[in-house]
Amino acid sequence: MTAPVLEMRSIVKTFPGVRALSDVSLTVAPGEVHAICGENGAGKSTLMKVLSGVHPYGSYEGEILFEGSPCAFRDIRASEAQGIVIIHQELALIPYLSIAENIFLGNEHATRGFINWNDTLRHAASLLKRVGLDEHPQTRVADIGVGKQQLVEIAKALAKRVKLLILDEPTAALNDGDSAQLLRLIGELKEQGITSIIISHKLNEIAEVADSVTILRDGRTIETLDVKAGSTTEDRIIRGMVGRDLDHRFPERTPYEGDPGAHPALEVRDWTVHHPIDQQRKVVDGVSVQVRRGEIVGIAGLMGAGRTELAMSVFGRSYGRNISGTVLKDGREIGTRTVPEAVAHGIAYVTEDRKQYGLNLIDTIGRNITLSALSKVARRGVVDEHEETRVAESYRGSMNIKAPTVFEQVGRLSGGNQQKVVLSKWIFAGPDVLILDEPTRGIDVGAKYEIYTVIDRLAAEGKAVIFISSELPELLGMCDRVYTMAAGRLTGEIPRAEATQEVLMRHMTKNTR
């Protein structure tokens, strides 16, 4: 039997008030693709940070052996020197440097302090070809898409002579085409003898690319399954992740039966938005949508279809230039020229990028929850901290936010719990209309179900919900109607009874020119 390339034995990692890992063990065979699955907060990313030296030796208990030798990594440079490279979910690229500069940052081709640019560009071009990226090495990272940036990160890892590549949610922000290309590359790296560990919530991708999968739950190792044996199904993995069978991926929902004669809670008419830099280009072109109270309306589209641009421009004109069109609330025209104006009219927007736009990561859960409606917890312009804590605690309970107290820093929470804080923030503001942009991105199936339940409850209370998602099963499972977009234009409006993945995809790929 071949000796494992990696063994992690009885790893224990504790943060103040929280035991993140408790006696976790992991064995990875050489040349395999090993997946790690678990709910948000199960300890997946923490385990990889222990392995890569982000959490240094001495800050955890247990033993790590790589290629049969004990490891005591004091920092990430020490693990990279041994050939262990981690690519985090939030890419560590500098947007205003070139691809070549990013690939060799900290690992420069230099002699006596002077960079050899000819060698740098030649080697970068070779690495880009190896990962299948057809870009000039001097192209700025800011000028390429997220999918290509992920490939640059892998090229950067290859420049460090990687032996074990760790990918944390590598396809979370990618469209289907970019995801497929990345998964093919992982397979090609395997053929070249590179071992990979992949953390992913997309169970279909795990079934496609992984040789084995280790399941973590509540900071413990539950089991390791042999995916290639053929008996490992998505339902089997889910049962290990959540500790029970998940018979229904979506809550039972009573279809919308509102008053068809009533005015829509929100109606957007002939909405057009131009690109903020290339102002000749329309990113949203004459779109009209509406949503009624108690209704969940989906918006589907491929990357670049204009879904987020539509949502952000309606919400206080947060995106775009030369915006035209009309917004009506309950049949009356309203102004939404600024975010405070949109909020005052009862519109809330849950962004797809919770870390950058949705949360203050260095502040507490309590402060983040009340941030959108501080006047509700203030007296004469001064925040009542006792009332703020009481409100936050009520949401911590009702939303099942897993944290010891509401004084916990939001940046320490898992992705699913961060998303619950974002939802709590906007629910506390008391909106009539919620625009949810990829509300379950990067979240495990258990936390997704909890968020679906919250969304369903909000609709039952009479809120109007616009649900933007790249996951077609999610739209089909949650929405009463689905609008489709392509190249900035509306291409279809499909009722729940007629909606299938094939129908949605046909409308999403229509030629609008």
pLDDT tens sequence across 157-186: 888 889 999 988 888 767 667 778 888 888
Q: Return the DSSP state at 11.
A: E
* pLDDT value, residue 138: 93
* pLDDT value, residue 69: 93
* pLDDT value, residue 464: 94
Could you tell me if 200 and 286 lie in one domain? no
- Of 23, 46, 44, the C-alpha closest to 35 is 44
| Burial per residue of 333-357, b for 16 or more beta-carbon CB atoms within 10 angstroms, e otherwise | ebebeebeebbebbbbbbbbebeee
CB 437 within 8 A of CB 406: no
Could you tell me if 218 and 308 lie in one domain? no
For residue 496, give Cα distances in angstroms to 256, 334, 473, 476.
10, 29, 12, 7
- In order along the chain (513 residues), what is the average pLDDT of each group of 10 residues? 88 83 92 87 86 93 94 92 86 89 87 87 91 89 84 89 89 73 88 91 83 89 86 78 65 73 90 86 92 94 84 91 93 92 92 81 90 85 88 88 88 84 89 91 76 90 92 88 92 91 84 61
Could you tell me if 27 and 164 lie in one domain? yes
**Number of Cα atoms under 13 Å in the Cβ half of residue 441:** 22
CB 149 within 8 A of CB 98: no
Could you tell me if 200 and 97 lie in one domain? yes
* pLDDT value, residue 78: 93
Token reading at 213: 């999968």
Could you tell me if 69 and 99 lie in one domain? yes
Measured distance CA(277)–CA(264) in Å, rounded: 33
In this structure, is residue 260 part of a structural domain? Answer: no
Could you tell me if 500 and 390 lie in one domain? no
Could you tell me if 20 and 141 lie in one domain? yes
Token reading at 113: 């302090």
Could you tell me if 414 and 440 lie in one domain? no
In this structure, is residue 292 part of a structural domain? Answer: yes
Domain boundary among 425, 448, 469: 425
Longest dimension (CA), the chain: 77
In this structure, is residue 256 part of a structural domain? Answer: no
pLDDT tens sequence across 395-429: 888 888 888 889 988 888 877 788 889 889 988 88
Residue with tokens 């000028």: 143
Supply the CATH number for residue 101's domain.
3.40.50.300
In this structure, is residue 465 part of a structural domain? Answer: yes
Measured distance CA(426)–CA(383) in Å, rounded: 18
Domain boundary among 399, 425, 451: 425
For residue 167, give Cα distances in angstroms to 153, 260, 300.
10, 48, 27
Listing DSSP states for 280-326 in one string gives TSEEEEEEEEEE-TT-EEEEEE-TTSSHHHHHHHHTTT-S-EEEEEE
Domain that holds residue 295: 266-346+431-508
Per residue, the 3-state secondary structure of 255-286, as one string, reads CCCCCCCCCCCEEEEEEEEECCCCCCCEEEEE
In this structure, is residue 473 part of a structural domain? Answer: yes
In this structure, is residue 254 part of a structural domain? Answer: no
Could you tell me if 301 and 210 lie in one domain? no
Answer yes or no: pTM beyond 0.85: no
SS3 68: coil
Domain boundary among 380, 407, 425: 425
Could you tell me if 272 and 412 lie in one domain? no
Could you tell me if 417 and 293 lie in one domain? no
Domain count for the chain, please give it: 3
Measured distance CA(315)–CA(323) in Å, rounded: 12
Q: Taken in order 446, 447, 448, 453, is the CA torsion positive or negative?
A: positive
In this structure, is residue 354 part of a structural domain? Answer: no
Could you tell me if 60 and 191 lie in one domain? yes
* pLDDT value, residue 247: 55
CB 241 within 8 A of CB 203: no
* pLDDT value, residue 328: 94
**Number of Cα atoms under 13 Å in the Cβ half of residue 74:** 0
- What phi and psi values does residue 8 have, to the nearest 5 degrees? -115, 120
Token reading at 339: 């975010």
SS3 420: helix
In this structure, is residue 352 part of a structural domain? Answer: no
* pLDDT value, residue 445: 72
